[in-house]
Amino acid sequence: MRLLHTMLRVGNLEESLKFYCDFLGMKLLRRKDYPGGEFTLAFIGYGDESDNTVLELTYNWGVEKYELGNAYGHIALGVDDIYATCEVIKNRGGKVVREPGPMKHGSTVIAFIEDPDGYKIELIQLGTQGSAVKQATSEQLVTQ
């Protein structure tokens, strides 16, 4: 078994695609409208679905806002330079809700940003928490 995707319901698909693709460097992998069900699915990520876990953005036509609830936590992305990444996001109009710095009671360097629907995304400075997996780099963000 392997994890395939995480699904988020979004109120404005175009704004969400702009955020995840332009701000975070993901690629739109596939998108399909389902007129009979009145919804659109967009799959995004850092690599092909056959080898990578991706995000599924679900837009239910006519629904502009969701209650996020208190069970959802966040998505986490590893970045090479958390400070530069946060600056790029802020300069592009993104929302940094927790500036980069060490987490409480630990040495892992983290920051939190928020997508257009209010979902939290944790940025983790690679190398500060022992992860060898590089999901996103500040270089990807800066060059796009």
Task: Out of 40, 64, 88, pick the residue that ends a domain.
Answer: 64
For residue 58, list its beta bridge partners.
Answer: 9, 41
Pairing, β 39-45 against β 27-34: antiparallel
Q: Which residues are catalytic?
A: 122
Supply the range of the domain harboring residue 22: 1-64
pLDDT digits 0-9 by tens, 64-107: 999 988 888 999 999 999 999 999 999 999 999 999 999 988 88
Ramachandran category for residue 108: left, alpha or beta (phi over 0 → left; psi -120 to 50 → alpha): beta
What CATH number does residue 116 fall under?
Answer: 3.10.180.10
What integer pLDDT is reported at residue 7 of this predicted model?
96
What integer pLDDT is reported at residue 130 of this predicted model?
52
What integer pLDDT is reported at residue 131 of this predicted model?
40
Q: Is 118 found in the same domain as 91?
A: yes
**32 within some domain:** yes
**114 assigned ligand-binding residue:** no
**74 assigned ligand-binding residue:** yes
**87 within some domain:** yes
Q: Is 98 found in the same domain as 57?
A: no
